[in-house]
Amino acid sequence: MPLLYEVREGVAIITLNRPEAMNSIDPETRAELRAAWQRVAEDDAVRCVVLTGAGEKAFCTGSDLKKTMPPKESFAQLTFGQAQPGHLLAGMEMDKPIIGAVNGYAMGGGMELALACDVRIASENAHFALSEVRIGSIPGAGGTQHLPRLIGRSDAMLMLLTGDRVDAQEALRTGLVSKVVPAAQLLETALAIAARIALNAPLSVRAVKRLVREGSAMPLDRALALESYVFGLLRDTEDRIEGRRAFQEKRHPIYHGR
């Protein structure tokens, strides 16, 4: 199977499973990935996601050029027509947090998948690159927009304009990743973070993610007003009351997303 899906105690693990092809994305994998995001979105028991690649060589190296042919339709047909192919990141806009466990190479579209995650943890052998300018193209799945917002314009422009690779330590320096760990500890580390997130109030977690995502594109005064509004929405939820009761009773809260 080109993609593996499992759930452990509220955490969905999505594994790109084509290690023989550096976990590159072929049409079948793309379709299964879209289905997996839909599955996550519809399952209330899933509170966090870990996205990773099989093996230790690669997280994902982007599209499988051997199996991905140029579309037959014109750009106008793809833009305004009835049948529109799914975007590589389609479904990742959900409010549930996504942790990228980057094991090895994250190149091109693979790096753009990592950029679309909310938290990125890298193995010590990880490498990142958006090298499309070297082949007469550009990052087409958000790379030119996500990267400067995450690591700052100068470091982003250096990567985008040269197409150079950066290693895990440079990714840590620029803030592209939050942690760098030995490859053998990568999934364990990502799952531990995901488990801590999954224990928190799910409505609060999703609200925080949406506020960060939407607020970053707003003027500060509007973003603060949105934050105040969402605080009011959550104020009387069952989970917020449960959190306060658990604190008073010195026990762990049990949240239901209500």
Q: Out of 132, 227, 242, 249, pick the active-site residue.
A: 132
pLDDT value, residue 247:
85
Q: In this structure, are strands 58-60 and 166-167 parallel, antiparallel, or unpaired?
A: unpaired
- Is 214 annotated as catalytic? no
pLDDT exceeds cutoff 80 at 91:
yes
pLDDT value, residue 86:
64
pLDDT value, residue 63:
79
pLDDT value, residue 227:
93
What mean pLDDT do residues 218-235 have?
A: 93
Segments making up each domain of the chain, as ranges: 3-198, 201-249
pLDDT value, residue 87:
78
* Position 56 confidence tier, pLDDT thresholds 50, 70, 90: confident
What proportion of the chain, given as a percentage, has pLDDT over 70?
91
pLDDT exceeds cutoff 60 at 85:
no
The CATH number of 3-198 is 3.90.226.10
- Is 132 annotated as catalytic? yes
Q: State pLDDT tens for residues 169-209.
A: 999 999 999 999 999 999 999 999 999 999 999 999 999 99
pLDDT value, residue 17:
94
pLDDT exceeds cutoff 80 at 81:
no
Report the CATH superfamily, name and number, of domain 201-249. Lyase 2-enoyl-coa Hydratase, Chain  A, domain 2 (1.10.12.10)
pLDDT exceeds cutoff 70 at 38:
yes
Q: Out of 32, 93, 112, 188, pick the active-site residue.
A: 112
Q: State pLDDT tens for residues 63-76.
A: 766 656 566 667 67
Q: Of 115, 229, 113, which is closest to residue 176 (Cα–Cα)?
A: 115
What mean pLDDT do residues 32-48 have?
A: 94
Q: Please indicate whether the domains covering 3-198 and 201-249 agree at the CATH topology level.
A: no
Q: What rounded mean pLDDT belongs to the chain?
A: 90
* Position 84 confidence tier, pLDDT thresholds 50, 70, 90: low
pLDDT exceeds cutoff 80 at 80:
no
pLDDT exceeds cutoff 70 at 21:
yes
Task: Say what the pTM is.
Answer: 0.88
The answer to whether 211 and 222 are in contact (CB under 8 A) is: no
Distance CA 18, CA 1 (A): 8
pLDDT value, residue 40:
96
* Residue 72 DSSP code: S
Structure tokens at 33: 């990935």
Residues in a beta bridge with 181: 123
The answer to whether 5 and 49 are in contact (CB under 8 A) is: no
pLDDT exceeds cutoff 90 at 162:
yes
Rounded to whole angstroms, the maximal C-alpha distance in the chain is 63
Distance CA 216, CA 208 (A): 12
Q: State pLDDT tens for residues 113-149.
A: 999 999 999 999 999 999 988 888 888 888 999 999 9
pLDDT value, residue 183:
95
Distance CA 55, CA 62 (A): 16
* Position 77 confidence tier, pLDDT thresholds 50, 70, 90: low
Distances, alpha carbon 13 to alpha carbons 83, 91, 217, 231, in Å: 30, 15, 30, 30
Q: Which amino acid is at 250?
A: K
